[in-house]
Amino acid sequence: MKTSDFILTNLSCDNCIARVTKALKKLKGIKSYKIALDSMTVDYDENKVSHTDIINAVESLGYHARLNQRIFS
């Protein structure tokens, strides 16, 4: 199980979040997710789905997504 944070852009309303939710539900290996207008956190089985698959699912809807690679010191 892996957890990844993503930065989202171009989402402007609850309908946008609903569309992203529907796209995530279609991906095998997604365990849970939390979506806001500007970010999302996804728990997934990396043996079944990759962060690239998740990004592609969001971007296929016309939104932009990228992995949030936090740097801790």
Q: Alpha-carbon torsion 44, 49, 50, 53, what sign?
A: negative
* Prediction pTM value: 0.90
Q: How far is CA 58 from CA 10, 12, 26, 50, in A?
A: 11, 14, 11, 13
Helix (H/G/I), strand (E/B), else coil: 62 = coil
H runs (alpha helix) in 26-72: 51-59
CA distance 1 to 17: 23
- State mean pLDDT over 36-55: 96
Which tens digits make up the pLDDT trace of 18-44?
A: 999 999 999 999 999 999 999 999 999
- What is the number of domains present in the chain? 1
User: Is residue 72 situated within a structural domain?
Assistant: no
CATH of the domain at 51: 3.30.70.100
Confidence class of residue 5 from pLDDT cuts 50, 70 and 90? very high
Average pLDDT, the chain: 94
46 CA to centre of own chain = 13
